[in-house]
Every structure is written in C-alpha cells, then in structure tokens.
Structure 1
Amino acid sequence: MTESSERRNRLRVWYRPMTMRDSGEGHRVATPLELLFDLCFVVAVAQAAAGLHHAIAENHIGHGVLSFGMVFFAIWWGWLNFSWFASSFDTDDVPYRLVTLVQIAGGLTVAAGVSSAFDGDFGIVVAGYVLMRLAMVVQWLRAARTDPECRPAALRYAIGITIVQILWVVRLGLPESLALPSFFLLLVAELAVPVIAERKRWTGWHPHHIAERYGLFTIIVLGESILGATTAVKEGLEEGEHTGSLISLAAAGLVLVFSLWWLYFDQPGHVRLEKAKNLFTVASWGYGHYLIFASAAALGAGLEVAVDYDTHTGHVASLPAAMATTVPVAIYLVSVWLMHIGPTNECRPIAIGFPVTAVLVLAASFTPAPIHVTAGLAAALVVLTVVATHGEPVPGERAAESSIDAGQSVGAKKGTPL
C-alpha cells in the first residue's frame, strides 16, 4: 500500500463523504450518539414540565400552558430535525459528532432558559435554539457539498433555516404586543422550510429507524413524568401526612403511565410510515407527534399538581387540578389514535375505543377521584386492544410489516418531508 493510500484510509476513519444512506438498510437502529442526544434533551423537557407544574399550582393556568407550548416547540423541533437528518445522512465521523455535540449544547442552553421563559424572557431559550439550528445548517451545507443529488434540497434547507433564525433573533426586539403573533408566524415558517426544501427532490429516510427514534423519545418523556410524580409523592410522604392518599395516587399514576406506554407501542409505528403515500401523510405523522410528546410531558406536571392538591400545598381548585392530568391524557390518546391506529382501522373496537376513552377521560375530571378513574379507563383500553387484536398487529398490517423487513421500503422511493 502506498503512502498516499494509507493517508486516505486514515482520513476515512475520521471523515466520510456525507451521502444519503440506504433507506432499505437492514438492522438500522439508534446510535449511541442519538441516545446521548435524547438523554440531554430530556433535561429541557423536565424543565418545561416543572415550569408548567408551578404555573398551574399557582393558578396561572393560561400563562403556564402557553409558555409550556412555546418552549416545548423549541425542544421538539430541534430534536425532530436532528432525528430525520440523521436517518438520511448520519456518517458518524468526527465532524458529524462534533456538530451534533454543539446541537446538544444548544439544547442544554434551552433547558437553562426555561424558567426565564416562563417569566416572559425568551432570550436564553432563543440563544440555545439558534445555536441548535445553525449547527443543523452546517450539516446541510456539508450534505450539499458531498451529495450532488440532494444538493438543491440541502441548500434550500440551509438558506431557509438561516433566514428563520435571523428572524427569531429580530423577534426579541419587537414590542410585547407583537410577541405572540410573531411567534406563531415564525412557527409556521419553521414548519414550512422542510416542505419548501423537499418539494422537488426528497431526502431518504428509514421507516424502522424513524419509528424507533420516536418511540425512544416517547419512553424518555413518559419516564420523566414518572420521575416528576415520584419526587412529588416522596416530598409529600416526608411530611408524614396524607400517606394513604399519596400511595393510592402513586399507584394510579403508575397504572396510567404504564397503560399509555402500552397503547403507544401496541401497534408498530413504522407500518404507518410504510403505508404513507404522500408528503402530507408522512409530515402529519412526524409533526403530529408534537402532541404526543408534549402531552406525555404535561402528564408529569399534572400528576405533580394532583399531589399538591391532595397535600393542600397548591392554590388551584379541584377541577383545574384534575384537568391538569385528564386533558393531557385525552390529547395523548387522540394523538396516538390518529398517528398509529387511524379512524378507518379495520379493527373497529380499537378504532372506536381510543376516541371514546378520550371523551370519558375528560368526563373523569368531574368525578371525586379523577386520577384513579383515568387510570382505570386507560387500563381498560389496554385490555380492549389486547382482546381485540389478540396481542398482535391488527389484521392487514402484517403484510406491510413483512414488506419492510424484506427491505422493500417506501422510504427508498419517497424520502422524508422533514
């Protein structure tokens, strides 16, 4: 081997051309770097949930929900863009890892600014968010340089993201009266960038990999809910009062979270991706998970509010305290129904069971034990799905699932709209 060949081989160890990966690639799973990315981002999720909990407990419900939704968008959008880009272009070389670590630093900066954002100061959150997004621009420029087929889409991504980030910074100087309208305007602009960038040439994605990434983040967010509720129960028990009610509440909370986990993973998410026939369908699945993630995070805050109510440490009435849990659960059920089940699903018991249960969960807000009733309803829906499907994917989905396993991925033909 010549000296120049050895030099090229050493170079490949730390640098690889960033070209689109095969969307039919077998055994594609999340990488350790992606797992680290999720773990660091859940810090921001925990901070957002804590802010929501304190706002509701102090009876600042409208302000708390709005601030939570705005902060959570920054967290979710940064995570989503990284995950879909990695599904298409992950090279796992030194430059890719370094830029990803910068994105993680941006996510942690967002986490550091959450409490200030709930007080109306979004400066730190915007700084962290812009850092994440500009790091994403670097990745797209690299893809544009080394993958000629994806160059037009990659450049549109880079230009679009950069323009929107400039506008986020400009927004900080706008009058307070324009703060909310400008936020939603820029939110729409962010969502539009992928659609505009990929209107002609789509970048590739891997259905199994994307479904796994979304599933892992769902687990992490549900885990954060368990952690928040457990901490609240522990603090209540240390006071030596309300022991019986808190133990009962903790048990109901566990049943509820376990049931929500079961319902999300009962049907394989990648099957819905495989059957998607157009940009709108895949984008709806990818974007729609905002409601799943946000409601799962809000559930933890709701359970903490329930602990505050039972221990008489909060300042919120019984109905709002109940709805802090029931509303997120209802949103979660409807969202999972739309993303994974579908109104036209041929297994009619679960196609009908999800929305009906969501309505009953909202009605549980008016009962004397709303958390316990909600947990019972969620567990009953789990039983219904197991009985109706015999614990297997619904009939008709298996063929689509096997076609993915055989490597016949629609993603190889379509690409990702995200």
Structure 2
Amino acid sequence: MAKHDHPFWRKPKHHLDAEHTNDHVHWVELFYDLIHVVTIFMLGNYLSHHLDVHGFLVFTGLFLAVWYAWADNTIYNSVYVSTDILHRIGMALQIITVMIVAASIPAIGAGGWPFFALGYAMNRAITAAMWLRAAGVDPDHPDNAARAVARNFAILAAVFALSAILPRPLAYWVFGLGLLSVQLQYVLPRVGTFWNTRITPRLGHISERFALLILILIGEGFFKLVVTLSEKGIYKVSFGTLFNLAIGGISLFVMAWVYFDSAGNAKPKSDSKGQMLTYWFAHIVLMLCCVLMGVALAGEVYVGFLEPYPYDYAVIGCIGLVGFLGSLTIIQSVIVDRDLTRKYHTNRVRLFGIAVTLLTLLLVPYIPSIIGNLLWGTALFSQIAWPLYRAIREMSADDWDTAKPDRH
C-alpha cells in the first residue's frame, strides 16, 4: 500500500469524487458522539434544577447550540471522507471544546457563560478550518462550495467569541443570532450553501449518525434514573418507587424500540432539499424530546404508588412524548418506505398516543402516580402493542390459510 493510500495519511476526499465510499460511521466520529454523553447529562441536570418556563427556554437554547455543533461536524464528515492525522487532531481539539462547553452549563447564567461562548467559538473555528482545508486539497480545482462554508463558520466563530465579552443580556441575543445564522447559512434560497450540490451529504451516513445519537440521548435517561436513585439512597425508598424505576427503564427501552422499528437508520426518499430539510428539522425536535422524557422519567424516583406524579416533571414528560410522536410521524412521511412502518406504525397509532398523552397532562395533578403512569404508559406502549397485535394477527391468518386442506 502506498503511503498516500493509508488512512493515516489520506487527505480529505469529497464523497462524490471518491471511487469507494460507504455510509458507516468512522470510529473518530463515534468517539466524538460519545463525548456528547456528558454534555447531554449536564443539560438534563440543568433542566432538572430549573423546571420552569425560563429554565425550559434556556435549556432549549443550549440544546440547539450543542446539537448544531454536533450536526455541523456530521455534515462535514458526510460530505468529505476524512481519516488522516490532521483530521484526527482537529477532531481531538473539537472534543476539548465540547468538554469546556459541558463544564460551563451548570453555571451558564453566571460565571460559566464566557467559557461556554468561547468554547463554542473555538468549536466553530475548528469546523471552519476543516472545511477550508478540504477546499484546498486539490490546488488546481479548489472547492468553492467548501470555501464558502469555511468563510461562514469563521464569521460565526467571531460572533460567538464576541458574545463572551459583551454585557448580558446583549451577549445572549448576539449568541442567539449566531445560532440562527448557523441554519440560515445552509438553507437561505440562492445564497445558502445547502443548495449547492457539492454540499449534498451521504444520506445513509447521516441516517446512521442520527440513529447513533438517538441511542445516546435515550441512554442518558437511564443514567439520569440511576444517578437520581443513588443520590436519594436505594435503601431509603419504597417498593413502589423501585417499581416506578422499572417502569421508567422499560419506557426508555420502548422509545428506542419505536424509533428503530419505524424510522431508525432509514434514509430520506431522495436528496431533494425539501425532504432533507424536513428530515433534518424533525430530528432536531425528536432528539430534544428524547432528552425531555429522559429527565421527566427521573421523577419516578420521587414518588411511590399513591402520591401524584411531580407536576413539573409530568409537564415536560408529556410535552416530550407529544413532540416525539409528532416528529416521528413527520419523519416517516419522508423516509424510504418500509413494509413494517407502512402497515403497522400508522398515523392513527401516533394520534392515539398523542391524545392519551394530552389527557394525562390534564389529569396528572389530581390522580395517584400509578394511574398517571398507566395513562402515560398507555400512550407510549400502544406504539409497540398495536403493531405487535397487527403482526401477530396477520401471521396467524397466514398460518391458518396454510393449514387449510386443499379441496381441489
């Protein structure tokens, strides 16, 4: 093998120009994804300690910031096949910036803000450097689309750095404007880089990367449940609390079950911009709602069978489930058709779950937690119970037809 063909030295290559590409996630990308475990945990902790409208809005803004940092890295790695040493060093430096961002979240409203903003600015600057390097790999044919993305992220890095030194709340508005610009630099008609065919990502790679992050986000819910119980003291709680803990764990498992049976790892039907943007934005909502439900299920540790479920936890849990089912319905409308999804995971099942969740939200302050869990659980578990029932009934009918004697 020639030196330049070894992954350690192979320069970035646009996937449209490469002779051989695959959609599988490289280990460096997976490691970057796993680093976000601590960030999501910190975000969940922040929301747990600020269960009011202001706290929810701050949490949502922070989640979007973290998600964009992850998603922009995903887009780059989907457009360019990069495995060489300089790329690995760049990814390692981005991991450091994510650590700074995560450590700043608990004190985001005080001394943590400058560190958060500067860490985020450095992350954006490294992203710009990656795109700029890819643009100049072939000096005879520079990639102007990549150069435009690099320029945009360099400007945004400066905006985020500026927000670190501005007085608040002006700093928050400047940072928020930068976050909005992250999306606008992709999607604005004519000037947005997303409309350039050179920025079209590998759909299979994007879908696999989304699926991996979904697992991480849902897995954070287990972490939250266990840590909450351990802090309270497992030896201090009643059997009812331990039963609630089990229900919370199973609910998280079912969330993953529903997603992967109906939409996980499925590519958009085409690379048309409308379908890709729908797929993109619906996944933002879906992932946000996964974190909301993970935090809400930690409320199981605070009650037994007869006390009402903590209302602040119940609110975000119900909002999360409605958003989860609604965004999943939208994703299903733009992905490649699956027999299982089309036949069993229907819109009627999703609407039933949403209706029961909204009923739960109305009743939960007035009913014991065991009844609230039963209602919320009905909304979620129906998403696998009905498809299973349909599948078993269909299989039984097929077996019955096969067993009939041939009278001819």
Q: Normalising to structure 2: TM-score of the pair?
A: 0.83
Matches of 1:335 and 1:219, distance apart in 2: 17
Identity %: 20
Matches of 1:351 and 1:310, distance apart in 2: 34
- Asked whether the 8 Å contact 1:268–1:340 carries over to 2, the reply is yes
In the TM superposition, what is the alpha-carbon distance from 1:175 to its structure 2 partner? Answer: 4.4
What is the aligned counterpart of 2:81 among 81, 84, 90?
90
- The one-letter amino acid paired with 2:143 is R
Give 3-state SS (helix, strand or coil) of 1:202's partner. Answer: helix
Matches of 2:20 and 2:311, distance apart in 1: 50
Q: Does 1:302 align with 2:296?
A: yes
Alpha-carbon spacing, 1:388–1:85, altered in 2? closer, same or farther (3 Å): farther
Q: Does 1:71 align with 2:58?
A: no
Structure 2 counterpart of 1:356: 352
Matches of 2:391 and 2:177, distance apart in 1: 43
In the TM superposition, what is the alpha-carbon distance from 1:298 to its structure 2 partner? Answer: 2.1
In the TM superposition, what is the alpha-carbon distance from 1:346 to its structure 2 partner? Answer: 5.4
- Asked whether the 8 Å contact 1:150–1:201 carries over to 2, the reply is no
Alpha-carbon spacing, 1:221–1:149, altered in 2? closer, same or farther (3 Å): farther
In the TM superposition, what is the alpha-carbon distance from 1:17 to its structure 2 partner? Answer: 3.0
In the TM superposition, what is the alpha-carbon distance from 1:340 to its structure 2 partner? Answer: 2.7
Aligned length: 377
Matches of 1:24 and 1:325, distance apart in 2: 47
Equivalent positions of 1:44-193 (< 5 A) are 44-56=39-51, 61-119=52-110, 121-147=112-138, 151-193=143-185
Alpha-carbon spacing, 1:204–1:324, altered in 2? closer, same or farther (3 Å): closer
Structure ranking higher on relative contact order (CA contacts 8 Å, 6+ apart): 1
In the TM superposition, what is the alpha-carbon distance from 1:240 to its structure 2 partner? Answer: 1.8
Give 3-state SS (helix, strand or coil) of 1:376's partner. Answer: helix
Matches of 1:88 and 1:139, distance apart in 2: 12
- Asked whether the 8 Å contact 1:44–1:107 carries over to 2, the reply is yes
What is the aligned counterpart of 1:330 among 300, 322, 343?
322
Structure 1: 5+ residue runs without aligned partners? 1-5, 393-418
- Asked whether the 8 Å contact 2:349–2:382 carries over to 1, the reply is no
- Asked whether the 8 Å contact 1:309–1:321 carries over to 2, the reply is no
- The one-letter amino acid paired with 2:156 is V
* Greater Cα shift, 124-133 or 164-173: 164-173
What is the aligned counterpart of 1:33 among 24, 28, 32?
28
Matches of 1:150 and 1:359, distance apart in 2: 54
Structure 1 counterpart of 2:377: 375
Matches of 2:165 and 2:94, distance apart in 1: 25
Give 3-state SS (helix, strand or coil) of 1:140's partner. Answer: helix
Alpha-carbon spacing, 1:379–1:328, altered in 2? closer, same or farther (3 Å): same
Alpha-carbon spacing, 1:154–1:35, altered in 2? closer, same or farther (3 Å): same
Matches of 1:318 and 1:67, distance apart in 2: 21
Structure 2 counterpart of 1:403: none
- The one-letter amino acid paired with 2:346 is I
Alpha-carbon spacing, 1:381–1:198, altered in 2? closer, same or farther (3 Å): closer
Matches of 2:227 and 2:374, distance apart in 1: 19
In the TM superposition, what is the alpha-carbon distance from 1:342 to its structure 2 partner? Answer: 6.2
- Asked whether the 8 Å contact 1:153–1:198 carries over to 2, the reply is no
Alpha-carbon spacing, 1:331–1:75, altered in 2? closer, same or farther (3 Å): same
Structure 2: 5+ residue runs without aligned partners? 395-408
- The one-letter amino acid paired with 1:371 is N
- Asked whether the 8 Å contact 1:52–1:65 carries over to 2, the reply is yes
Give 3-state SS (helix, strand or coil) of 1:229's partner. Answer: helix
Alpha-carbon spacing, 1:109–1:173, altered in 2? closer, same or farther (3 Å): closer
- Asked whether the 8 Å contact 1:325–1:371 carries over to 2, the reply is no
Structure 1 vs Structure 2 CA RMSD: 3.1
- Asked whether the 8 Å contact 2:263–2:331 carries over to 1, the reply is no
Give 3-state SS (helix, strand or coil) of 2:10's partner. Answer: coil
Structure 2 counterpart of 1:249: 244
Matches of 2:383 and 2:264, distance apart in 1: 18
